[in-house]
């Protein structure tokens, strides 16, 4: 089976950590089938390039394992062109995809990548499987983007989602329930597994007696980071050894620094720049709690990796998180509630947790994910061939 993948949700020289879940899945899928990835990169007008994040070629050491990748630029105007980005991506990638001669297309993120994949698949006469990751269905803009998102959901042969909750959302928006399948994310279980906390802390420079809460991800206020800062700041007097590390980066870093300064908590709440993927497991192993107090989520990798590492997770009861976390491996709290978050963090720090027991229930690998996805692709392709055969016989009659 020749699988062409159309998606912007994939690592690139400028954004090496983008689309980590799709990369890990496709790296395993490439051992089962012939896979080629086609990644659109935004090309901004020269006059505004210095005002927008770089899209291409900033990391000279960038090396990516896995299936071959073709990067192609497509014209973009910030905000203005969003409603036509799907068509622009299709135009930019069609020639390359056609040359690959795929049997089937796969895409991650419903719009704009999924819309582009749908257009290209129609021109090539092949079926398409779409994967929704969370924000693409949980935060759909209005107007043309919304109508094109709904078009992808209703016109594609198969929809996969990263959680059962998201599958319900897709069906409520028009996707065919009989061809909408949840394929939950996994993690690299050779890297994320219960490890020695003391050794990990020595590796990353954390004091042995620290009570450590860890957030890993984008600095985005919708991740509940203001509530997290407020919550842990309120615990300082009760837990003087408590330290909270926010590992990542993003557009709201300034707001986070202001909130930390407001609480005079710069010594106990620390912002840590992004680290290489191979170092994330060390930070996770060093922690007492992994936390993700988001307002909305799909199937977050940081939760899966925390659980696979045997660390309890404190997270909000949104999206696919309740499918991963229960009282045996962490605690759930309502979003936007710093007081509840503080109480649960305090209770979780006070409890003795069995790392091996947590990890034993949450050990889904990326190969498991790829096997499930391969089965869906195979079934979709067979269904397409049967439909084409039936149509051919009908025309003869």
* Residue 392: pLDDT over 80: no
* Confidence at residue 46, expressed as pLDDT on a 0 to 100 scale: 74
In the chain, CATH 3.40.50.2000 covers: 2-186+366-396, 197-361
CA distance 83 to 80: 8
**pLDDT for position 275:** 87
Higher pLDDT, residue 135 or 170? 170
- Stretch 391-397: mean pLDDT, rounded? 54
Which overall architecture, per CATH, does domain 197-361 show? Answer: 3-Layer(aba) Sandwich (3.40)
Strand order in the sheet with 158-161: 69-75, 34-43, 2-6, 104-108, 128-132, 158-161, 180-182
What percent of the chain has pLDDT above 70?
Answer: 94
Q: Using the CB atoms, write b or e for 280-297: b if 16+ within 10 Å.
A: bbbbbbbbbbbbbbbbbb
Residue with the larger pLDDT of the pair 215 and 299? 215
Residues paired with 108 in a beta bridge: 131
Looking at every residue in the chain, the average pLDDT score rounds to 94
> Can you tell me the distance from the alpha carbon of 379 to that of 395, in angstroms, rounded to the nearest whole number?
24
Residue 248 phi, psi dihedral angles, 5° rounding: 160, -145
Q: How far apart are CA 197 and CA 340, in angstroms?
A: 27
Whether pTM > 0.85 for this model: the answer is yes
Q: Note the pLDDT of residue 395.
A: 52
pLDDT digits (tens, 9 = 90+) for 20-50: 999 999 999 999 999 999 999 998 787 776 6
SS3 155: helix
Please say if the pLDDT value at position 1 is more than 60: yes
pLDDT digits (tens, 9 = 90+) for 184-200: 999 999 999 999 999 99
Distance CA 321, CA 303 (A): 8
Q: Which of 115-119, 294-298, 338-342, 349-353 has the lowest mean pLDDT?
A: 294-298
Write the pLDDT tens digit of every residue in 290-303: 999 999 998 999 99
Residue range 86-91: mean pLDDT, rounded: 97
Q: Provide the pLDDT for residue 261.
A: 98
Q: What confidence tens digit (pLDDT) does each residue in 95-151 have? A: 999 999 999 999 999 999 999 999 999 999 999 999 999 999 999 999 999 999 999
Please give the average per-residue pLDDT across 349-368, as a whole number: 94
What is the CATH architecture of 2-186+366-396? Answer: 3-Layer(aba) Sandwich (3.40)
pLDDT of residue 59: 52
Compute the average pLDDT of residues 217-235. 98
């Amino acid at each position: 089976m020749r699988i062409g993948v159309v998606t912007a949700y994939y690592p690139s020289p400028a954004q090496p950590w983008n689309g980590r879940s799709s990369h890990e899945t496709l790296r395993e899928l490439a051992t089962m089938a012939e896979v080629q990835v086609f990644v659109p990169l935004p090309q901004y007008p020269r006059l505004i390039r210095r005002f927008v994040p770089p899209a291409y070629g900033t990391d000279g050491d960038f090396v990516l394992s896995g299936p071959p990748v073709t990067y192609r630029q497509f014209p973009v105007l910030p905000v203005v062109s969003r409603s036509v980005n799907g068509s622009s991506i299709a135009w930019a990638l069609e020639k390359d995809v056609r040359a690959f001669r795929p049997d089937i297309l796969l895409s991650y993120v419903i719009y704009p990548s999924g819309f582009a994949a749908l257009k290209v698949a129609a021109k090539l006469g092949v079926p398409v499987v779409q994967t929704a990751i969370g924000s693409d269905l949980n935060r759909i803009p209005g107007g043309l983007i919304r109508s094109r998102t709904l078009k992808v959901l209703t016109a594609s042969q198969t929809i996969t989602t990263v959680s059962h909750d998201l599958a319900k959302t897709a069906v409520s928006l028009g996707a065919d329930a009989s061809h909408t399948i949840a394929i939950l994310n996994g993690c690299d279980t050779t890297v994320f597994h219960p490890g020695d906390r003391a050794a990990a802390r020595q590796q990353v420079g954390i004091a042995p007696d620290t009570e450590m809460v860890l957030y890993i991800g984008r600095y985005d206020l919708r991740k509940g980071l203001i509530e997290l800062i407020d919550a842990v700041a309120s615990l300082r007097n009760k837990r003087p050894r408590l330290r909270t590390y926010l590992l990542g980066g993003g557009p709201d870093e300034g707001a986070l620094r202001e909130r930390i300064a407001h609480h005079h908590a710069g010594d106990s709440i620390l912002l840590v720049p992004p680290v290489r993927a191979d170092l994330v497991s060390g930070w996770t192993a060093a922690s007492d709690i992994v936390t993700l107090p988001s307002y909305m989520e799909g199937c977050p990798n940081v939760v899966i990796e925390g659980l696979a590492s045997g660390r309890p997770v404190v997270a909000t009861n949104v999206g696919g998180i309740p499918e991963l976390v229960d009282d045996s491996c962490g605690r759930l709290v309502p979003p936007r509630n710093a007081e509840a978050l503080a109480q649960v963090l305090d209770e979780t720090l006070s409890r003795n947790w069995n790392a091996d027991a947590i990890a034993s229930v949450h050990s889904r690998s990326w190969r498991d994910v790829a096997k499930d996805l391969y089965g869906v692709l195979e079934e979709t392709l067979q269904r397409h061939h049967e439909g084409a055969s039936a149509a051919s016989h009908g025309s003869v009659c």
